[in-house]
Amino acid sequence: MSTPVKVTTTPAIKNAPLVGLAEGNGSFNNLHLAALVLGVPWFVKRTLPLVNRGGFKTYLFLVLLLGLPITIAYWTVMSMYGQRKNEKVQLPGKDIEEYITLKDPELRAQYKGKEKIPMQVFHDAFFDGKAEFNGDVLDIMEQRHDWAKMVFTPELFKHVFFGLIPDVIFHTRSQDEEQVRGHYDRGDDYYEWFLGPSMVYTSGIVQDLSREETLEELQTNKISVVCEKLGLTPEDRLLDVGCGWGSLAAFAAKNYGCDVTGITLGKNQTKFGNDRIKAAGVTHDKARILCMDAREIPGGPGHYTKIVSLEMAEHVGIRRYASFLRQMYDLLDDNGVFVMQVAGIRPSWQYEDLIWGLFMNKYIFPGADASCSLGWVIKQVEAAGFEVKNIDVLGVHYSATIFRWYKNWISNKDKVIAKYGERWYRIWVFFLAYSTITSRQGSASVFQITMHKNLNAYPRIEGVKNHASILVKPQREISAVF
């Protein structure tokens, strides 16, 4: 007998209703795909007149010609007809009109009653104002398996071939500058309307399950944990790569007295961060935010005794990942510590995870193509010469964080629409609602990894006193910077 599905009730997160815990379809088989890609051209070559006179080169030509369409067809069919992982949660089976309203007549004719709408078709229609949620976006998204199907569509393939793959291959400096600035320099008010006063754009940490800690508490918990893992002292030179709006830099300099250099491509972030440092009573010669590409970080080999990088590595791209880690290795002192937080997806994916990931890549973080599994990240880290000291997997903490971002965003709806228009409001409300769910259910997660150089001479024993995980309490009085 299998165990029943467990519904949680803690005030720390947005708990899923039972229907929100339904598993999706993850059917996929590499061997079947390979057999089709190699077998179908063989069959065509044997049976098609004229072609059947050709030799091995004709077969290879057919593999090249048919490989892509076969792959697309396989993904499409498996996403449509594959089985759910399990059926422990029964879906209510209501008409889709109970959940959503399709205002576009063509869509309404196609998807109605029990005929569910592909998630990509729905979200694009929602962004264009052609579809609506019949209620709170997050509540309706919790019930998505009853009204949406997680299938691959032509639009998704188009994005994979003409958006994602070229980005992965090229990932140039100018591309980074354009995409990263396009995102982060939209306007500080835009970000404040969901990030709140902390202006921290990464997962916080839950430390109290008995109450709903505020967003600011979650972020202070996270920043304190990271500073403790780094074991900061006034003698340290800390580098924060992808420092955002500078909250961690200000916090570390103020509370630990270390020298801090924050690096970001965002121009607005640079000004905001330097102002935040000043407001924290720290002088520019002690802590500063520099606006530059991470490829140009100042300082020679071993210049920084501590390095932190929170959710910037996703922007580095798969192609440059190894050289980025190698650069961190070179910049770090031989006795130093590096804490890297990076988001990723689960290797045992369901189609929903991939469809959500493509939405994120197209609409939220263009160019951020390195959301890989924990295993992949660790392989890269070790290949760069690091030894991993500690890993905290923080997906559910991200859900708690994004849920608070979601509530902030909907409370600022009128202001967002007045300044940035309805479409941006809609894209972000969908992103925050869906990501509250995906990070809670394991589709996506975030890993906080503490590491150091794997050298014989590394003084490992000194790292025992701060072998910290998420419940660490700072060893000193700390004061807030936001």
Ligand X SMILES: C[S@@+](CC[C@H](N)C(=O)[O-])C[C@H]1O[C@@H](n2cnc3c(N)ncnc32)[C@H](O)[C@@H]1O
Which stretches of the chain bind ligand X, using CB under 6 A?
176, 180, 184, 200-202, 242-244, 263-266, 269, 293-294, 310-312, 315
What's the gap between Cα 169 and its chain centre? Answer: 20
Q: Of 245 and 351, which CB lies nearer to ligand X in the complex structure?
A: 245
- Please compute, for residue 97, the number of CA atoms within 13 A of its CA located in the half-sphere on the CB side: 8
Q: How far is the CB of 246 from ligand X (least distance, A)?
A: 8
Amino acid at 3: T
Torsion of CA 188, 191, 196, 198, to 10 degrees: -70
| Nearest-approach distance from CB 207 to ligand X, in angstroms | 18
Q: How far is the CB of 220 from ligand X (least distance, A)?
A: 12
Pairing of strands 131-133, 100-102: antiparallel
345 has which bridge partners? 444
Find the angle CA(93)-CA(144)-CA(443) to the nearest 5 degrees: 130
Instruction: Return the number of the residue (45 or 183) whose C-beta is nearest ligand X.
Output: 183
C-beta of 181: minimal distance to ligand X in Å? 8
CA angle 440, 372, 383 (to 5 degrees): 135
Closest to ligand X by CB, 102 vs 218, is 218
Taking alpha carbons only, the member of 134, 129, 71 closest to residue 101 is 134
Residue among 207 and 270 whose Cβ is closer to ligand X:
270
Asked if 252 and 339 count as a contact pair (C-beta separation under 8 A), the reply is no
Strands 386-393 and 100-102: unpaired
Q: Match 């936001």 to its residue by tokens.
A: 482
Nearer to ligand X, 180 or 433 (CB): 180
**Whole-number minimum distance, CB 341 to ligand X, in Å?**
8
Structure tokens at 210: 């008995």
Please report how close the Cβ of residue 19 comes to ligand X at its closest, in angstroms: 31
Q: How far is the CB of 403 from ligand X (least distance, A)?
A: 17
Closer of 200 and 437 to ligand X (Cβ)? 200
Tokens of 453: 């150089």
Closer residue to ligand X (CB): 81 or 170: 170
Backbone torsions φ then ψ of 190, nearest 5 degrees: -55, -45
